[in-house]
Amino acid sequence: MEVHVLNENIIKFMSQFPNEALTFDDVSLVTQYADFLPSETNIRSRLSRNITLSRPFVSAAMDTVTESEMAIAMALNGGIGVIHKNLSPQDQAMEVVKVKKYLNGIIEEPVTFLPDLTIQEVLDEKERRRLNFSGYPIVDAEGRLCGILTARDLRFCVDFTRKVSEVMTKEVITAAPGTNLREAYQIMTSNKIGKLPLVDEQGKLVGLYSFHDVSSILEEEKAQHALASRDRDYRLMVAAAVGPGDEERIELLVQAGADVLVVDTAHGHSRGVL
């Protein structure tokens, strides 16, 4: 009934101006009394049963709108970006990976090298994979931690034919699986280290903390990105668009760590989609 009355009022008002039209710029919202302050508002909203956003903003799954750069910006500001599917499944999954690896909390699958490689082979692999960070855990064939190859180790190595095992730092400070972000920060600051490997009872590497990422995340909580959309491992959240029956794409996106899959179709009302 209220809507009906409102429409009648609008019709009556507009009938006074038969040759006029209104745009958004012609309309102002009248400020009313509020019994709360902006700082007291809470606009957290559910995107799904398991995903809550600090700010209810989602960027469109369009090739002119959302790839990893937009998705990172959306997540840092409390929303989420939906990476478009006008890409090959592999390229779309890579865009998801870029978001998930931006300022990691715990790195579940860190880049590692074998101890019998030469330093030159490591440098070649870094260039091939465009690895722009330092501090690589060194593991044996069974995945057991042997050491860590730091930026300092590489800086003072003049003979690149030497084996990694000869150059790496062998005395490595580690932590147990389950070490949380703040515990990792305390360990790294007290020991002045940039990487903290997580090692299980068998000596196998199961994860890695980076001081740069950990400190950035903790600073973020005090600054403008305190409402960032993160998963339980402190990684930024990201969504990805899929088509109905697109099993290969779905599998790759899930493996890449996508938090949400969005069925993107122009015919969502049809039986073929439902």
Spans in the chain with pLDDT lower than 70? 1-7, 221-225
pLDDT value for 2: 44
pLDDT value for 225: 56
Q: What is the pLDDT of residues 51-91, one digit of tens each?
A: 999 999 999 999 999 999 999 999 999 999 999 999 999 99
Domains and CATH numbers, the chain: 106-220 (3.10.580.10)
For the residues of the chain, what is the DSSP string, one character each? Answer: -HHHHHHHHHHHHHTT-TT----GGG--PPP---SS-GGG----EESSSS-EESS--EE---TTT-SHHHHHHHHHTT-EEEE-SSS-HHHHHHHHHHHHTTT-SEESS---B-TTSBHHHHHHHHHHHT-----EEEE-TT-BEEEEE-HHHHHT---TTSBHHHHSB-S---B-TT--HHHHHHHHHHHT-SEEEEE-TTSBEEEEEEHHHHHHHHHHTTSTTTT--B-TTSPBP-EEEE-TT-HHHHHHHHHHT-SEEEE--S-TTSTTT-
pLDDT value for 7: 66
